[in-house]
A = this chain, B = another copy of it.
Amino acid sequence: MERSTRQRRAIREAFLEAGRPLSPQEVLELARKKVPSLGLATVYRNLKNLLEEGFLVPVALPGEPPRYERAGQAHHHHFLCRACGRVYELSGCDLALTHLPPGFLAEAHEVTVYGRCPQCYSQAG
């Protein structure tokens, strides 16, 4: 049966506390604040578990390695800060799919906004 370990708790808490999509590397860095000895293999193993048990869902962004976020959220999109590389969740969706050519069937869509997050807004670059 699945056990509760310090590592597993630290990884789960990283997502709860970050409130934004995290890459495996980001998970490692955040969870190491609680379990410094944490290894990357353990992060990958637990990400896989958390996906299987439905706690996380994958988030794909153009040209970016996969990230993961809390499952069960309402339809939303993402913001990628070009300065720090962090991804944020944007609520709502203003997309109207009216211009599809004939014969195309839309089943889903994703919107990615690029720019500067508040922490990077005033910095050089």
Contacts and interface: CB of A to CB of B under 8 A. Distances in A.
Contact of A114 (B88, B109, B112, B115): B109
Interface stretch (A5-13, A31-39, A41-49, A57-65): A57-65
A107 to B, nearest CB: 4
Contacts of A71: none
B79 A103 contact: no
A82 B111 contact: no
Given A66-B63, A94-B98, A95-B94, A105 B116 contact: yes
A74 to B, nearest CB: 13
Nearest to A102: B118
Contacts of A102: 118
Interface of A: 58, 60-64, 66, 79, 82, 88, 90-92, 94-118, 121
Given A97-B113, A104-B116, 4 more contacts: A94-B98, A105-B115, A109-B111, A110-B111
